[in-house]
Structure 1
Amino acid sequence: MKKRGTYISVTLGLLLLLFLYSQFTQPTHISFKAQQGVLDLQTHSFETTPIIGLDGEWAFSWKDFSGQSPIYVDVPNEWNNYKLNDRSVPPNGYANYRLIMKLNPEYVGKRLGFYLPEIGSSYIFKVNGETLYKNGVVGTTKEDYVPANRPSFIAYQPDQEVLQIDILTSNYMFYHTGLWQTIEFGKETVLLPQYSLRLMKESFIIGGMLILAIYHIVFYMKRRNDLSSLYFSLVCLAIAVRTASTGTIQFDLLFPFLSWTTILRIEHVSTFLAFIAWYKYFHSMLHQPLKQSYLKIVIFVCVTSACMSLFLPSSIFTYTKLPFAFFVLCVFIYMTILSVRSVRQGVTEAYWNLVGLALIVYGVLNDILIRLDLLDGMYIAPMSVLFFMIIHVALNAAKYARSYAIAERLSNQLNILNKQLEKKVQERTVKLEKAYQELEEVEDARTHLISTISHDLSSPLSVLKMIAKGMLDGILPLGERKYIDNLYKQVGFMEKLLADLKQLVLMEEKQLSFKFQHIDFEEYMYKLFQSYETKIKAEQLTFVYHSSLEKDKRHEVLLDPIRIEQIFSNLLSNAVKFTPPGGIVKMLVWRDEDTISFQVKDNGIGFSEEHIEKLFERMYRTTPVRIEKNSTGLGLAIAKEITKAHKGTITAHSQPQKGAKFTVTLPIKKTVQ
């Protein structure tokens, strides 16, 4: 269901993109309607509308290049749709189209230009009697007529306000006749880039399709059993050939020795034969059996049409397009049915194929409605075909990637089997090396701990030994109180060091018990402040308490009050040790959404930020000054373990000579294991 929703979303998104392109992309020109062979542009400004379409009523003289006795016909249109003496104009013959244009005087002498689309099927373009362009050879008979049909841009600088445009055209071979597309007129600086953009678009399509064709042919040469690559390369090649024979970039530019009729034959034959490849490619992509009877019908129709294009005159074989288009429509419907069947069978490619078919259907319907003046917008059939090809390129790329992934996976599995024993040996070697490294780290840590403890115990023992020796030698009096106090302090320091070390070991091994209680944090912290206030003031320090918690609200936290007081006492003790008399110690309490915090802050000697990472390690001291303060180096490590047991965090921030601040953050009403 998720995949189906993805396909539907992508389809709707691409259809919406085509709709927006059709409806909101600005057309290359705005059509101006001539009346009775006259187009009045005397008030028109090419600054606001730089390109216009020369549509409307043109003077049309059948079999008369002089333009005498014309009738007025709608342009663009094919002349075999016109009526002359209540009879349709035949497709073969010659005629003159004439249009009088009245320009705005300010554009006399300015650089303007004409874009001449395909005109069926040879013509001479004149302005005020001056021949500006010839396409093919215009003739009054088939024998002296040479067809050509290439769009062109013509720069023109008018020297007067009134322009008489004459297009002398003849046709004896092509199924399109006369001015069946709009002629554009406007500023050269705008019209020429539009013409160049057409060239760029066609170059992109031709180059892209040729690259894809070469790529898939090479892939087929490497994997002869994958015929779908060959079929797809032929389809890409046919699109490139058709684009090069029907657009602005035509074969006669690339191969001047080719006649227009030869180019037309190449276009038709490549299209018919490529349709066979397209039919086979669809079957291989949809994983559907190829019915030989249907394949024979497709081959017969395509080969017959190709032979007609090769051997019959162009005046005949060009009319095979309409019946062939009907045949393609029938095959298109059949392919849609096969795609639906493949979708039901779970073939992923079939979903994307239906997406591409939906885009083509929408593009063709859009262009038909625009052609019939039932819808405004841009032609998007070429864009929908491009999207269709991109989808199939992506499908082929995914197929090749899957094949490569399977081959790579099998190769990897084979390598794994071949190197299984070696890998096991390597894994065990790595494990042994890792275990040895861990043992070395443990040994280094043990050695460092023993060395640190020995050093911390040697100082008070040396003091004890020195005092005892002095008393024994009679140098120090036995009843001197200050020496007895010193002895007591040194013994107390050793006792505290051993007690802290024992408590830290118990916590790290999770053997120390905690008694958690639901405590009102505001009331608890304020009582701690009160209990230590007298002691802090006795050290000639100012002790300040500040809480941002709401006083009339209970802030319940699950904690062990004795252990949290131990953290607080340690932090407060450090602040007192390293803050000179007259300094300030602050106790701050606040709450966030899911946590509650307290902070002990002082303005003492502080320490540099480089010590923060190791500050909470065992036996770590920041500076010699701190060592002189009889710090065991275990208080912060114990505080960290207690905080961790409460699922909280403890952080430190400081700068030298600007004090330090330690923050403990605890979760609110969170179950603690």
Structure 2
Amino acid sequence: MLSYLIFNSQEVEIGMKNIFYLLIVCLASLFISACRLLDTEKPPEAEQGVLDLTEEWQQEDQTFTLDGEWEFYWEQLLEPSLIENGDALSSDYIKTPENWYKERFSNHGYATYRLQITLPEEREDDIMGLYIPDVNTAYTLWGNGKELASNGTVGINRSEMHPKHHPEITYFQANEDVLNVLVQVSDYYQRKSGWSESFHLGSSEAIQNMRDKNVAVEVFLVISLLVMGLYHIGIFILRPKDRSTLFFGGVCLAVAMRTLLLGEVLLVHFIPAINWELSLKLEYWGSCFGIIFFLLFIHAQFQEHMNHRIKNMFLMFFTGFAFFILVTPARVFTEMMLLLQLFAGFALLYLVIVLVGAFRNKRKGARLHMIAMTILLAFVINDILYYNHIVDTGETVSLGLFLYLFAQSFILSNVFARALTQSEQLSNRLEKVNQTLEVKVEERTKKLAETNEDLEQANERLEKMHRSRQELMSNISHELGTPLTSIQGYIKGMLDGVVDRNDPKYLQLVYDKTLFLRQIIQDLRELARLESNRMKFEFVDTDIHTFVQRLAETYRHEIESKNIEFRFENNLPPEGDKMVELDPIRIEQVVTNLLFNARKFTQAGSGITIELNETREDNASVVQIAVHDTGQGISPGELPKVFDRFYKGKSNNVKAEDGAGLGLAISAEIVYAHGGKMGTDSEEGKGSTFYFTLPVRDSKRNTRIT
């Protein structure tokens, strides 16, 4: 109890050095976002419907935006044949990316865009990729007269069209030195029209890499926000007295929902059947509820510094706006977007003022709160300017929220670190008190021993002192036991997964999970590259017997170190070498995956065998590499699923952190890329055999790279 009183009697202070570091990080992030505005190298732009890339396209991995002046046919839905035959009416030129209503046209209507792109001769036969951004609100796109992509249904009125929006990628081969891009667009459902982000053209691999990076970043942000949001809501369930964790979790979940509906619009990829109107309502609700939870979060911590009338005014506005979104169609509530943005900016500005007042009154954590909220306000203002086409920095609120979360974690870490320091100081003080008592007892005992005249009185006094010492030690032990038990409870709680909000190590738990997701993403990316034939293999002619024997010797010690007998059996015919065209690194990856899986499920004292055979498949000679184990085996119902993604089996007792269930799926794809097959045989209680085949070929052929 003494440590608790000491802890609450002192205010936790944040060092200026640490705040300076945080400010540097925030300003660096803002600088990175602003670098695009300061870029002096201007990309090529279309002029009067023509974009010339003959001199610009020099490297394979280059991508180009199709920004600039496109031909624009207002209230005409033209197909390529009509334009070629001269049936089109007069056209205008319109700047892109831009909403067409910012020119001189109505925001509701339909039109046709056209752009002629001149390509270098060496790129005519390349497979190209075209990244199509979020086009409002339905489109059909042609390339050199061939329909390449569409989203929703284009129409000349509201009843004929069907809205839909999310970015797409299309792949094609130009076959000419000129690429004519034609886009039909219609919008009768919201305030935006045309497109607000750039089309991107490049090689298929460059465009896919750009898309993969965008998706990876957004998936990381969404998963991180969901984990943090659910974590704080879980803390509230365990400690409902502190409502700030509930509101903070609500902020994370609201921003996660908004992130799912921006950029790559991942929610549509996850749930393709989602209604367009509902997805737009969810996007706007994410903004409304994010601000509502932010207001409640700051109020829960600094309510004495917040004017209740102003707070209630903001809450009533954003709650009312959320209801307004619910009961009105998109063509109505989207027209009020600017009003929502203005109130969001004013609300965050007011929160900064509240935090400044808390800082002046020396409230704990207010300084770092104020800095983080100021940075977040800057990101919000940036997004308002971006969505109104004043700046071109991209959406940044998610990054701002991450900085804010970092500040919150920093505050909690400092509070807990100070608590531990105070507990250590208390322990040292109690130890000194104990030593002082021991000295006093020894002095009094010596004095009693020297007093012979008053022996009985001295013994009686000694008895009293001894009893007093016991009672004092009991009291000290009780007082010492309280903070030690509390510390032990924190540690036990962390070991059991029940983490207190003052625990600085919860970031490590979150970090360990993100490392595991990152590993899943890496494995999935490798699997996707294998399945889409984008993985590069270096094939060499290899004597399969020598190759497998070398692998067996390489991993023999690692397997036998687990007290498992390891054998290599070569059942190939003795005449001639069996040459196989393979990528040594990738095939070694397959073999080691099978060996380590076998070791994982084989008990000490049992055995593992790697066996090399020759057989025939489809009237062709193949070699079979098989790994036999004497483990627990696989049930017949699970056998067809062992090569599925994320499948581990009901009998798999290995912890989830030891693997994501992607190893066999990746191995199977590698074998298929070599022209082989992969399979398994198993019997419950007797063990399993995993095998794969590789085609035998003529040993005189040369090395090739694909």
Settle same-fold status: TM greater than 0.5: yes
Tell me the distance in 2 between the aligned counterparts of 1:49 and 1:163: 19
3-state secondary structure, aligned to 1:64: coil
3-state secondary structure, aligned to 2:135: coil
Tell me the distance in 2 between the aligned counterparts of 1:307 and 1:402: 45
> One-letter code of the match for 2:358?
S
In the alignment, is residue 82 of structure 1 matched against residue 103 of structure 2? yes
| 1:201 CA displacement | 0.6
> One-letter code of the match for 1:266?
L
For 2:261, the equivalent position in structure 1 comes to 245
Change (3 A) 1:273 1:403: farther
For 1:327, the equivalent position in structure 2 comes to 343
Tell me the distance in 2 between the aligned counterparts of 1:143 and 1:94: 13
Tell me the distance in 2 between the aligned counterparts of 1:321 and 1:201: 26
Tell me the distance in 2 between the aligned counterparts of 1:117 and 1:303: 31
Change (3 A) 1:323 1:305: same
For 1:355, the equivalent position in structure 2 comes to 371
Match of 1:229 among 225, 245, 248: 245
For 2:44, the equivalent position in structure 1 comes to 32
Tell me the distance in 2 between the aligned counterparts of 1:51 and 1:284: 48
In the alignment, is residue 165 of structure 1 matched against residue 181 of structure 2? yes
Change (3 A) 1:169 1:273: same
For 2:323, the equivalent position in structure 1 comes to 307
Residues 287 and 342 in structure 1, CA contact (< 8 A), matched pair in contact too: no
Residues 309 and 317 in structure 1, CA contact (< 8 A), matched pair in contact too: yes
Residues 100 and 164 in structure 1, CA contact (< 8 A), matched pair in contact too: yes
Residues 37 and 392 in structure 2, CA contact (< 8 A), matched pair in contact too: no
| 1:428 CA displacement | 10
Change (3 A) 1:352 1:422: closer
Change (3 A) 1:2 1:409: closer
For 2:55, the equivalent position in structure 1 comes to 43
% identical aligned pairs: 22
Counterparts of 1:175-186 in structure 2, within 5 Å, are 175-186=191-202
Counterparts of 1:126-165 in structure 2, within 5 Å, are 126-165=142-181
Tell me the distance in 2 between the aligned counterparts of 1:63 and 1:91: 12
> One-letter code of the match for 2:97?
P
In the alignment, is residue 53 of structure 1 matched against residue 65 of structure 2? yes
For 1:3, the equivalent position in structure 2 comes to 15
Residues 31 and 54 in structure 1, CA contact (< 8 A), matched pair in contact too: no
> One-letter code of the match for 2:45?
K
Residues 144 and 174 in structure 2, CA contact (< 8 A), matched pair in contact too: no
| 1:202 CA displacement | 0.4
For 1:259, the equivalent position in structure 2 comes to 275
Tell me the distance in 2 between the aligned counterparts of 1:167 and 1:423: 89
Query: Structure 2 length as normaliser, TM-score?
Result: 0.54
| 1:390 CA displacement | 2.5
For 1:218, the equivalent position in structure 2 comes to 234
Question: For structure 1, which runs of at least 5 residues remain unmatched after alignment?
Answer: 84-88, 430-673
The Cα offsets for residues 336-368 of structure 1, whole Å up to 9 and x where unpaired, read as 211111111122422112222332344456677
| 1:44 CA displacement | 2.9
Counterparts of 1:418-457 in structure 2, within 5 Å, are none
Tell me the distance in 2 between the aligned counterparts of 1:220 and 1:337: 27
Tell me the distance in 2 between the aligned counterparts of 1:370 and 1:254: 27
Residues 30 and 51 in structure 1, CA contact (< 8 A), matched pair in contact too: no
For 2:75, the equivalent position in structure 1 comes to 63
Change (3 A) 1:311 1:221: same
Larger Rg: 1
> One-letter code of the match for 1:63?
E
Change (3 A) 1:399 1:315: farther
> One-letter code of the match for 2:259?
T
> One-letter code of the match for 2:280?
L
Residues 306 and 354 in structure 2, CA contact (< 8 A), matched pair in contact too: no
Query: Structure 1 length as normaliser, TM-score?
Result: 0.56
For 2:223, the equivalent position in structure 1 comes to 207
> How well do the aligned residues superpose, as a CA RMSD in angstroms?
3.6
| 1:50 CA displacement | 0.6
Counterparts of 1:563-642 in structure 2, within 5 Å, are none
Match of 1:269 among 264, 285, 307: 285
The Cα offsets for residues 14-38 of structure 1, whole Å up to 9 and x where unpaired, read as 31453156328998x9632111111
For 2:310, the equivalent position in structure 1 comes to 294
In the alignment, is residue 279 of structure 1 matched against residue 291 of structure 2? no
Tell me the distance in 1 between the aligned counterparts of 2:163 and 2:262: 14
The Cα offsets for residues 92-149 of structure 1, whole Å up to 9 and x where unpaired, read as 1111111011111110111221111111111112111211111112122211222111
| 1:222 CA displacement | 0.7
3-state secondary structure, aligned to 2:365: helix
Residues 46 and 67 in structure 2, CA contact (< 8 A), matched pair in contact too: yes
Residues 117 and 152 in structure 1, CA contact (< 8 A), matched pair in contact too: yes
Change (3 A) 1:158 1:275: same
The Cα offsets for residues 265-304 of structure 1, whole Å up to 9 and x where unpaired, read as 1222232133222101112334634443223212211121
Tell me the distance in 2 between the aligned counterparts of 1:266 and 1:375: 25
The Cα offsets for residues 353-391 of structure 1, whole Å up to 9 and x where unpaired, read as 222233234445667788999989777554334323322
3-state secondary structure, aligned to 1:31: coil
The count of residues paired between Structure 1 and Structure 2 equals 418
The Cα offsets for residues 513-561 of structure 1, whole Å up to 9 and x where unpaired, read as xxxxxxxxxxxxxxxxxxxxxxxxxxxxxxxxxxxxxxxxxxxxxxxxx
Residues 285 and 349 in structure 1, CA contact (< 8 A), matched pair in contact too: no
Change (3 A) 1:136 1:395: farther
Residues 171 and 177 in structure 1, CA contact (< 8 A), matched pair in contact too: yes
Residues 25 and 378 in structure 1, CA contact (< 8 A), matched pair in contact too: no
Match of 1:101 among 99, 117, 137: 117
Tell me the distance in 2 between the aligned counterparts of 1:144 and 1:404: 68
The Cα offsets for residues 489-530 of structure 1, whole Å up to 9 and x where unpaired, read as xxxxxxxxxxxxxxxxxxxxxxxxxxxxxxxxxxxxxxxxxx
> One-letter code of the match for 2:100?
W
> One-letter code of the match for 2:236?
Y
Q: Which moved more, 1:288-297 or 1:396-405?
A: 396-405
The Cα offsets for residues 397-417 of structure 1, whole Å up to 9 and x where unpaired, read as 5557778999x899x98xx89
Counterparts of 1:511-530 in structure 2, within 5 Å, are none
For 1:73, the equivalent position in structure 2 comes to 94
Flag the structure with more relative contact order, 1 or 2, with Cα contacts below 8 A and sequence separation at least 6. Answer: 2
Tell me the distance in 2 between the aligned counterparts of 1:358 and 1:290: 17
Tell me the distance in 2 between the aligned counterparts of 1:315 and 1:370: 21
For 1:118, the equivalent position in structure 2 comes to 134
Change (3 A) 1:147 1:401: farther
For 1:490, the equivalent position in structure 2 comes to none
Question: For structure 2, which runs of at least 5 residues remain unmatched after alignment?
Answer: 1-12, 443-706
3-state secondary structure, aligned to 2:64: strand
